[in-house]
Protein backbone atom coordinates (compact mmCIF):
# COMPACT_ATOMS: atom_id res chain seq x y z
CA UNK A 1 0.00 0.00 0.00
CA UNK A 2 1.46 3.36 -0.95
CA UNK A 3 0.91 5.98 1.72
CA UNK A 4 2.39 9.16 0.35
CA UNK A 5 0.41 12.23 -0.47
CA UNK A 6 1.15 13.32 -4.04
CA UNK A 7 4.30 15.35 -4.39
CA UNK A 8 5.53 15.02 -0.82
CA UNK A 9 9.12 14.45 0.05
CA UNK A 10 10.65 13.42 3.36
CA UNK A 11 11.79 10.22 4.99
CA UNK A 12 10.97 7.58 2.42
CA UNK A 13 7.43 8.86 1.86
CA UNK A 14 6.84 6.34 -0.92
CA UNK A 15 8.50 3.42 0.81
CA UNK A 16 6.04 2.95 3.66
CA UNK A 17 4.39 -0.43 3.81
CA UNK A 18 1.83 -1.89 6.18
CA UNK A 19 1.73 -5.23 8.00
CA UNK A 20 -1.28 -6.81 9.71
CA UNK A 21 -0.79 -8.60 13.06
CA UNK A 22 2.98 -8.54 12.66
CA UNK A 23 4.16 -5.96 15.22
CA UNK A 24 6.21 -7.35 18.09
CA UNK A 25 6.88 -5.92 21.54
CA UNK A 26 10.48 -4.63 21.23
CA UNK A 27 9.82 -2.47 18.15
CA UNK A 28 6.52 -1.24 19.60
CA UNK A 29 8.29 -0.21 22.83
CA UNK A 30 10.75 1.85 20.79
CA UNK A 31 7.97 3.64 18.93
CA UNK A 32 5.97 4.08 22.16
CA UNK A 33 8.93 5.79 23.84
CA UNK A 34 9.18 8.39 21.06
CA UNK A 35 5.44 9.01 20.65
CA UNK A 36 4.38 9.04 24.33
CA UNK A 37 7.68 9.94 26.03
CA UNK A 38 7.66 6.93 28.30
CA UNK A 39 7.23 3.21 28.50
CA UNK A 40 3.93 1.36 29.01
CA UNK A 41 3.66 -0.09 32.49
CA UNK A 42 2.57 -3.54 31.37
CA UNK A 43 3.93 -5.94 28.75
CA UNK A 44 2.82 -5.01 25.27
CA UNK A 45 2.97 -8.66 24.30
CA UNK A 46 -0.18 -9.16 26.44
CA UNK A 47 -1.91 -6.34 24.58
CA UNK A 48 -0.92 -7.68 21.17
CA UNK A 49 -2.01 -11.21 22.10
CA UNK A 50 -5.54 -10.02 22.94
CA UNK A 51 -5.88 -7.75 19.94
CA UNK A 52 -8.66 -8.29 17.38
CA UNK A 53 -6.27 -6.78 14.84
CA UNK A 54 -3.28 -4.52 14.79
CA UNK A 55 -1.46 -2.79 11.96
CA UNK A 56 2.13 -1.58 11.75
CA UNK A 57 3.55 0.95 9.29
CA UNK A 58 7.16 0.33 8.32
CA UNK A 59 9.85 2.35 6.62
CA UNK A 60 11.83 -0.59 5.30
CA UNK A 61 12.22 -2.65 8.51
CA UNK A 62 11.64 0.19 10.98
CA UNK A 63 8.26 0.47 12.73
CA UNK A 64 7.08 4.09 12.36
CA UNK A 65 3.34 3.74 12.94
CA UNK A 66 0.88 1.55 14.81
CA UNK A 67 -2.79 1.08 15.58
CA UNK A 68 -4.57 -1.55 17.65
CA UNK A 69 -8.19 -2.79 17.64
CA UNK A 70 -9.47 -4.31 20.88
CA UNK A 71 -12.71 -6.27 20.98
CA UNK A 72 -15.39 -7.33 23.46
CA UNK A 73 -15.65 -10.56 21.47
CA UNK A 74 -19.03 -9.48 20.11
CA UNK A 75 -20.31 -6.43 18.28
CA UNK A 76 -17.97 -3.83 19.73
CA UNK A 77 -14.40 -3.01 18.88
CA UNK A 78 -12.27 -0.15 20.14
CA UNK A 79 -9.46 1.67 18.38
CA UNK A 80 -6.43 2.20 20.63
CA UNK A 81 -2.87 3.52 20.62
CA UNK A 82 -2.93 5.19 17.19
CA UNK A 83 0.64 6.42 16.80
CA UNK A 84 2.88 7.77 14.06
CA UNK A 85 6.53 8.66 14.64
CA UNK A 86 6.86 12.48 14.76
CA UNK A 87 9.18 12.52 11.71
CA UNK A 88 6.49 10.84 9.58
CA UNK A 89 3.35 12.78 10.49
CA UNK A 90 0.98 14.66 8.15
CA UNK A 91 1.60 12.48 5.13
CA UNK A 92 -1.42 10.20 5.48
CA UNK A 93 0.18 7.33 7.37
CA UNK A 94 -2.07 7.66 10.43
CA UNK A 95 -5.18 7.74 8.25
CA UNK A 96 -3.97 4.71 6.28
CA UNK A 97 -3.44 2.80 9.53
CA UNK A 98 -6.93 3.68 10.76
CA UNK A 99 -8.51 2.85 7.40
CA UNK A 100 -7.00 -0.63 7.52
CA UNK A 101 -8.04 -1.06 11.16
CA UNK A 102 -11.64 -0.20 10.21
CA UNK A 103 -11.65 -2.80 7.43
CA UNK A 104 -10.10 -5.46 9.66
CA UNK A 105 -12.62 -4.81 12.45
CA UNK A 106 -15.46 -5.12 9.95
CA UNK A 107 -14.02 -8.25 8.36
CA UNK A 108 -13.51 -9.86 11.77
CA UNK A 109 -17.10 -9.40 12.83
CA UNK A 110 -17.38 -6.14 14.76
CA UNK A 111 -20.43 -3.96 14.07
CA UNK A 112 -19.28 -0.83 15.93
CA UNK A 113 -15.86 0.74 16.15
CA UNK A 114 -15.33 3.17 19.03
CA UNK A 115 -12.52 5.62 19.67
CA UNK A 116 -11.88 8.36 22.19
CA UNK A 117 -9.32 11.10 21.84
CA UNK A 118 -8.18 14.52 22.99
CA UNK A 119 -9.86 17.52 21.36
CA UNK A 120 -6.80 18.24 19.18
CA UNK A 121 -7.38 14.95 17.30
CA UNK A 122 -11.06 15.53 16.50
CA UNK A 123 -10.21 16.55 12.93
CA UNK A 124 -7.94 13.53 12.43
CA UNK A 125 -10.66 11.07 13.48
CA UNK A 126 -13.30 13.03 11.56
CA UNK A 127 -11.06 12.74 8.50
CA UNK A 128 -10.93 8.96 9.15
CA UNK A 129 -14.74 8.71 9.08
CA UNK A 130 -15.70 8.68 12.76
CA UNK A 131 -18.77 10.68 13.64
CA UNK A 132 -18.74 12.50 16.98
CA UNK A 133 -20.45 11.01 20.01
CA UNK A 134 -20.34 11.63 23.72
CA UNK A 135 -18.13 9.29 25.72
CA UNK A 136 -16.87 8.98 29.26
CA UNK A 137 -13.59 7.93 30.81
CA UNK A 138 -12.26 7.16 34.29
CA UNK A 139 -8.56 6.86 35.09
CA UNK A 140 -8.24 3.69 37.17
Ligand X SMILES: CC(C)(COP(=O)(O)OP(=O)(O)OC[C@H]1O[C@@H](n2cnc3c(N)ncnc32)[C@H](O)[C@@H]1OP(=O)(O)O)[C@@H](O)C(=O)NCCC(=O)NCCS
- Nearest residue (beta carbon) to ligand X: 94
Q: Is the distance from CB of 3 to CB of 39 less than 8 angstroms?
A: no
63 binds ligand X (CB under 6 A): no
Count of other CB atoms within 10 angstroms of residue 64: 24
Among 16, 55, 70, 93, binds ligand X (CB under 6 A): 93
Return the number of the residue (90 or 106) whose C-beta is nearest ligand X: 90
- Pick the stretch among 15-23, 25-33, 99-107, 114-122 that binds ligand X (CB under 6 A): 114-122
Beta carbon of residue 11, minimum distance to ligand X (angstroms, whole number): 12
Return the number of the residue (56 or 94) whose C-beta is nearest ligand X: 94
95 binds ligand X (CB under 6 A): yes
| DSSP letter, residue 131 | P
Q: Is the distance from CB of 96 to CB of 63 less than 8 angstroms?
A: no
Where helices occur in 21-79 by DSSP H, the ranges are 25-36, 44-50
Pick from 116, 117, 99, 95: nearest CA to 107? 99
Strands of 11-111 (E only): list them.
Answer: 16-20, 53-59, 62-71, 76-84
Among 23, 35, 64, 70, binds ligand X (CB under 6 A): 35
Residues near ligand X (CB under 6 A) are 35, 82-84, 89-95, 117, 120-121, 123-124, 127
Amino acid sequence: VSSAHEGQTGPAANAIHYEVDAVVEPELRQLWEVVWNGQPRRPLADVLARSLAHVGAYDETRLIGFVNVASDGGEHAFLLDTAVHPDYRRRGIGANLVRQAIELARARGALWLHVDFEAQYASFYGHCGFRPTEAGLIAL
